[in-house]
Amino acid sequence: MNSTSITTNTRKHYLDNIRWITVVIVVFYHVIYMYNAEGILGVVGKITDLDVQYYDVFQYIVYPWFMFLLFMVSGISAKLYLDNHTDKEFVKTRTTRILVPSTVGLFAFQFIQGYFNSYNAVQDPTMPVVAKVFVCLAAGIGVLWYLQLLWIYCILLVLVRKIEKDRFRPVCRRVNLPILIVLSVVAYGAGLILNTPIVAVYRIGFYMFAFFMGYFVLSHDEVIEVLKKWFPLFAGVSIILCVAFCYVNFGGNYADAPTNRTPLFAFFGYFASLAIIGGMAKYANFSNGFTKWMSKRSFGLYVFHYLGISIVAHYLGRTRALPAPAIYLISLVFAFVFGYVMNAIISRIPFFRWAVLGISKKRSQ
């Protein structure tokens, strides 16, 4: 969900639509995740009296692919941006747009998210104030982990370009269906390396593969045509893998080892991402007033939505002040309202719009 504009003669609207639609899916996911009954730590957890929350399956349906997909799209976008800009401009814009919000933004705003994420820990009266501040800053990273990894990949890309000198990428134009299928094995292998032991979302190898595949392979129109042609195949395979993944893993921690290291997880995430890119390129390469509005605000929604959910979860979810369905609905509505309102406010305040949203002085929201 890299929000930097794509500058090309023919704008690929399907990439914009993938971004904002995926961010909307992330919002729905986080609402269900906040009150999940699968024992995943760091959230309020189950607030219903149901023996089994079958709707929790939504998490299993989307988790293996939605961030993998965003990294693929970011890789494609990086190539399109670099077609019209220098490496120096690329590093500068990515640093402002994604590194600043995920670092400086922690001190300027996201520590508030950290407070809610670490509420029980910081209530300990024996914990020193300095330690509480550190905990809030670390816990405030939240959804910003995506931006941190993306910036690292962008810097690595610049180094790779200096070595590769555009000799390898043209070869990738010839990637066909068999090669795309074989690359799923590479995706699985990448998912086994460079995984952080405590924070499960930092799957450096897995998402690096997605980003560089986006840059080297999926940035070619010829490869996108392959995805469009074989969209029914990729969609069918994805549905089968989705059903299998949910059946095998429902009730367990889908986001951590060993589940997220399995071939089923990797293949589902990979083929679902290709199916979505192919399907969106085929059927959703358009723009209108609504899609432009959603696309323009998708980054702000991504940055702020989880805090909106956390506020409702803290004051209503923990206390069960209302019936569970009402809490779910309020959490969902407030996630969107809070996300859009905070984006509108912060984007107009000097310094904070740079620190929290990566908007430079010369750039209007």
Give 322-332 pLDDT, tens digit per residue.
999 999 999 99
pLDDT in tens, 259-316: 999 999 999 999 999 999 999 999 999 999 999 999 999 999 999 999 999 999 999 9
Instruction: Answer yes or no: is pLDDT of 210 > 90.
Output: yes
pLDDT (0 to 100) of residue 60: 97
The pLDDT > 70 percentage for the chain reads 96
- Tell me whether residue 363 is in a domain: no
Q: What is the mean pLDDT of residues 207-230?
A: 98
Q: Is residue 135 part of a domain?
A: yes
Cα-based torsion angle of the residue sequence 212, 214, 219, 221 in order, rounded to the nearest 10 degrees: 130
What is the structure's pLDDT at 135? 92
User: pLDDT class for 69, splitting at 50, 70, 90?
Assistant: very high
In a domain, 52, yes or no: yes
Domain range for residue 156?
13-357
Q: In the 8-state DSSP scheme, what is residue 230?
A: T
Residue 2 belongs to some domain of the structure: no
- Number of domains the chain contains: 1
Domain presence at residue 81: yes
Question: What whole-number distance in Å separates Cα of residue 338 and Cα of residue 345?
Answer: 10
Residue 3 in any domain: the answer is no
281-284 long-range contacts, CB within 8 A, separation 24+ = 281/12, 281/14, 281/224, 281/227, 281/228, 282/228, 282/231, 284/13, 284/14, 284/17, 284/18
Cα–Cα distance measured from residue 271 to residue 187, given in angstroms and rounded to the nearest whole number: 10
Mean pLDDT of 237-243: 98
Residue 221 lies in a domain: yes
Q: How far apart are CA 153 and CA 158, in angstroms?
A: 9
- What length does the chain have? 365
